[in-house]
């Protein structure tokens, strides 16, 4: 087994704080490949569900729509995302993402790693 090759099917999903109808699969992080400055996950989100308004103190986030569509709000902007679109959430900026298709799959990148600690998310 490689210590640098990860399959989504080998990762245990979790339901993140401030989200509903969401299963996240942490692919790149300290516990999978020893990453110290980067975290990458895939979120699978049900229709009408996703991230409630929240922010990540000191953590930047980027989201790439792998499948489906979503409504996003960040920094006073509101927009729709489709497969192939990407958005950015600055550190400390409140944001939300709601899937508008039957199912959404989102590639999420955090820097530095978010690590799903309750103190890293706020409403």
CA 89-94-44 angle, to 5 degrees, is: 60
Judge if pTM exceeds 0.85: yes
Q: Reply yes or no on whether the pLDDT at 121 is more than 80.
A: no
Topology, domain 8-120? Jelly Rolls (2.60.120)
Q: What is the pLDDT of residues 30-44, one digit of tens each?
A: 989 999 999 999 999
Q: What is the pLDDT of residues 35-74, one digit of tens each?
A: 999 999 999 999 999 999 999 999 999 999 999 999 999 9
């Amino acid at each position: 087994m490689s210590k640098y090759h990860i399959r989504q099917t080998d990762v245990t999903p979790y339901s993140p704080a401030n989200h509903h109808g969401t299963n996240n699969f942490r692919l790149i992080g300290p516990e999978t490949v020893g990453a110290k400055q980067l975290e990458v996950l895939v979120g699978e989100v049900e229709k009408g569900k996703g991230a409630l308004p929240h922010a990540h103190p000191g953590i930047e986030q980027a989201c790439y729509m792998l499948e489906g569509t979503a409504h996003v709000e960040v920094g006073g902007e509101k927009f729709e995302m489709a497969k192939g679109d990407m958005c950015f959430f600055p550190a400390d900026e409140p944001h939300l993402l709601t899937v508008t298709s039957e199912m959404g799959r989102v590639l999420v990148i955090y820097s530095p790693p978010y690590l799903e600690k309750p103190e890293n998310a706020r409403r």
